[in-house]
Structure 1
Amino acid sequence: MEDNNISPNREGKAIPIFPCRSIDEQLDFYQALGFELTYRQAKPNLYACVRHCITEIHFFVLKQLDPANSYSMCYVSVPNVDDIYKEFCENLKKTYQRIPAKGFPRITKLNNLAEDRRFNLIDPAGNRLLIGQKHATSDPVQNGQYAAAPPSKFSNAYETAYRLAYAKDEPAGAARVLDLVLAKADETSVTLGFKAYVLRADIAVSMGEINLAKTFIVQADHISLSDQELEEVKEASERLHELKVTLE
């Protein structure tokens, strides 16, 4: 029999329970981000809970865990992803004197994907939080710009590499895809070629290939762009500046 007393507007809440090798290591990291410790248990097994305005997370110990082979992840939908990203980066910099961009833990840069604007947060145990904000428009978005032309082989490779690098955090795969078409960068639009070189430089930095990154930065710098074209690649241009500062 149907229960007419159940409100159709009730909202549930999913709480991820992540494995970790060390409770202390996890708590140090999440508290550095700005999470609050809400519970810690020593017996009969180690267990802890942290909470932030965007989500609550629980942890249990799995000593044989290999962060590099972790498949644990959770998508966190937020209404203000830029503010959360800025908060986390500032807090991490206070604790680590830098923003960890590779290894464990790390945080990826904030990017526009087709479905949302997001960044990835990977904790010391390799657990991944995909923190994103859905676009206000339903129109297709490609890396901050609206699609204006039919996709080409180069543009398809760029979009695939972009997603691998920033949505899936697989820089090696992104590099392989992009390297297949970069030799023909002069056959595509100058704006797409510019964005491709900047993306490849960013990938190289994330993989610790500094000399290679500098090579792609030089190639991006050699592309002449009009004022209108500079506006079209504003996000990539800002990232290029960030990369230069990082390498300096």
Structure 2
Amino acid sequence: MSTETAVPLLPCRSLDESLAFYTLLGFEQTYRQDRPNPLAALTRGGLELQLFEIPGFVPEDSYGSILIMTSDTESLFEEFAAGLRSGLGKLPIAGIPRITRPRRKQGTAGGFSLVDPGGNWLRVFRRGESEQHETDRGLPRVLESAARQGDARGDDARAIEILEAGLVRYADAPAVERVPALVYRAELEARTGNAAKARGMLLEILDMRFSDEDALQLRGDLDAARELLDG
């Protein structure tokens, strides 16, 4: 019976900084050495990874990336998010480190991404979900296309362009389709440093009136809008 195991090694500029971050995510340190080469081993449930410190390392230049497969992306996101809120006082959505919310993305499985202090991408996907999923049409498909650019590729500017065009093209789309796109649009503005514009958009969203059925369906998006506004 095969017993091989692969453990990803991720670079960082500061072992202490990255260890503190991963502790917020629920990881436990199982090993650390400071000489001759600073490194540490971490575990969380079935996840194992190691961090190694590089003097002068620039997180923005990192190509580090790992895939995490789980049966429940939403629950894992909430666990990560709770730890980040507790330790950082808010959910980091811009810069490094940051986390994206769970969304479907065009041509790939649904999930979310997290960028650690070393600039490494942790890409979380739902196990068993088709990677070739595509919504047929309309604003939901526009949102998936934008999320692929903004959340998977990190191209926020392109994601904004896609959403702007889609919101104009599907101006008559129902609220349950428009609000998720508008909330993501505001999040992207916040990500790119346009805090005032993001705030104005969020206030408009939260001032909208919905039927009870729509409000229930949009609860997660409206909660996200409130958190963005408070952040």
Question: Does residue 1:151 correspond to 2:137, yes or no?
Answer: yes
Deviations 1:57-112 (A, max 9, x none): 11222223221221110001123333322222222222222222222222221223
User: Greater CA radius of gyration, 1 or 2?
Assistant: 1
Question: Does residue 1:172 correspond to 2:164, yes or no?
Answer: no
* Runs of 5+ consecutive residues of structure 2 not aligned to the other structure: none
Question: Does residue 1:117 correspond to 2:110, yes or no?
Answer: yes
| Partner in structure 2 of residue 211 of structure 1 | 196
| Partner in structure 1 of residue 92 of structure 2 | 100
Identity of aligned residues (%): 27
CA distance in structure 2 between the aligned counterparts of 1:222 and 1:99, rounded to whole angstroms: 23
Question: Does residue 1:69 correspond to 2:51, yes or no?
Answer: no
Query: TM-score, normalised on structure 2?
Result: 0.81
1:6-155 matches, cutoff 5 A? 7=1, 10=2, 12-113=4-105, 115-134=108-127, 141=133, 147=135, 150-151=136-137
CA distance in structure 2 between the aligned counterparts of 1:222 and 1:40, rounded to whole angstroms: 51
Deviation at residue 40 of structure 1 after TM alignment: 1.1
SS at match of 1:13: coil
Q: Report which stretch shifted further, 158-167 or 215-224.
A: 215-224
Deviation at residue 141 of structure 1 after TM alignment: 5.0
Q: Report which stretch shifted further, 203-212 or 40-49.
A: 203-212
| Partner in structure 2 of residue 240 of structure 1 | 222
* Runs of 5+ consecutive residues of structure 1 not aligned to the other structure: 1-6
Deviations 1:132-161 (A, max 9, x none): 22356x59755xxxx4xx536x66543321
CA RMSD of aligned residues (A): 3.1
CA distance in structure 2 between the aligned counterparts of 1:241 and 1:49, rounded to whole angstroms: 35
In the superposition, relative to structure 1, how do residues 191 and 140 fare at CA in structure 2: closer, same or farther (>3 Å)?
A: farther
CA distance in structure 2 between the aligned counterparts of 1:70 and 1:139, rounded to whole angstroms: 25
Ranked by relative contact order (alpha carbons within 8 Å, sequence separation 6 or more), the top structure is 2
CA distance in structure 1 between the aligned counterparts of 2:227 and 2:17, rounded to whole angstroms: 30
CA contact (8 A) 2:206 2:225 kept: no
CA distance in structure 1 between the aligned counterparts of 2:205 and 2:47, rounded to whole angstroms: 39
Query: TM-score, normalised on structure 1?
Result: 0.76
Counterpart of 1:87, as a letter, is E
**Paired residues, number:** 229
CA contact (8 A) 1:70 1:127 kept: yes
Counterpart of 2:51, as a letter, is F
